[in-house]
Amino acid sequence: MTIRLIPALKLLGAALLIVGLASCAAAPTPAQLPPTAIAVAAPKPTLCALPVVVAPTPSANPGYTNLDPDTGLHVTGQAQTIDPATYRLKISGRVNSPLELTYDELRCLPKLDCRCTIICPGFFVDTADWAGASLAGVLKLADAQRDAQAVELIGADGYSSVVTLTEALADDNFLAYEWAGKPVPVLHGFPVRAVFPRLAGSNWVKWVIEIRVK
């Protein structure tokens, strides 16, 4: 298993800070500025340059724990149809800064990639290349409260998994939006699935729509 950090093109945290500061007070008019000052418009939050992603066409479901011939991965769960343009990842619960991140905002965060193995004991072992946004980075943006102890990841299909906050903050966990350099296939969690290289496959929640800090 190899994990490496890919620098972010833009940091979402900086954009959020700009918005917060801009709402504190009205900007002074040119007449109110000292003679040597120059009125400068406040910068607007921007996203990084990204290629447009459309939802992949779902493959036929081969059945629970059976092999998907298009990817070489085994299938679990009921595939969900999610429009990346309207997708929102909600970070809620015991956090000081609740968030709702778009698909593109996630793609602009610091990126991890991993050739790692998912193990579902008694069913299958799959190894593949995944990439996505650092889970620890997302939780840092939301600012978990001091008494927080666990994190629940919730999928659009109703499935969820709970890990300890310590486990969630491990630096090799991420929210995958790429598989083999392409968008995650629908059968395997598009637009976002969890990747926990050190934990059992039952924690690799697919179609993640909410992270609830407990």
Tell me the pLDDT of the chain (214 aa) as tens digits.
555 555 444 444 444 333 343 333 334 444 444 444 333 333 334 479 889 999 999 999 999 999 999 999 999 999 999 999 999 999 999 999 999 999 999 999 999 999 999 999 999 999 999 999 999 999 999 999 999 999 999 999 999 999 999 999 999 999 999 999 999 999 999 999 999 999 999 999 999 999 999 9
CA gap 113, 182 in Å, rounded: 12
Which residues share a beta bridge with 152? Answer: 162, 212
Cis peptide before 45 (omega within 30 of 0): no
CA gap 169, 3 in Å, rounded: 15
What global pTM score does this model have?
0.79
CA gap 132, 146 in Å, rounded: 26
CA gap 205, 189 in Å, rounded: 8
Q: Are 21 and 15 in contact (CB under 8 A)?
A: no
Q: Are 1 and 197 in contact (CB under 8 A)?
A: yes
Q: Are 133 and 184 in contact (CB under 8 A)?
A: no
Cα 53–118–204 angle (5° rounding)?
60
CA gap 119, 141 in Å, rounded: 30
Q: What pLDDT score does 1 carry?
A: 54
What's the full length of the chain, in residues? 214
* Structure confidence by residue, pLDDT tens digits, 44-55: 344 798 899 999
Tokens 């009125």 correspond to 39
Tell me how crowded residue 25 is: count the other CB atoms within 10 A of its CB. 7
**How do the domains of the chain map onto residue ranges?**
51-213
Contacts of 137 (CB under 8 A, 6+ apart): 109, 110
Q: Which fold has domain 51-213?
A: Sulfite Oxidase; Chain A, domain 2 (3.90.420)
Instruction: Enter the tokens of residue 20.
Output: 């917060």
CA gap 108, 86 in Å, rounded: 17
Q: What pLDDT score does 157 carry?
A: 97
Nearest alpha carbon to residue 178 among 167, 188, 170: 188
DSSP 146: T
- Alpha-carbon distances of 107 from 10, 28, 176, rounded to whole Å: 10, 35, 9
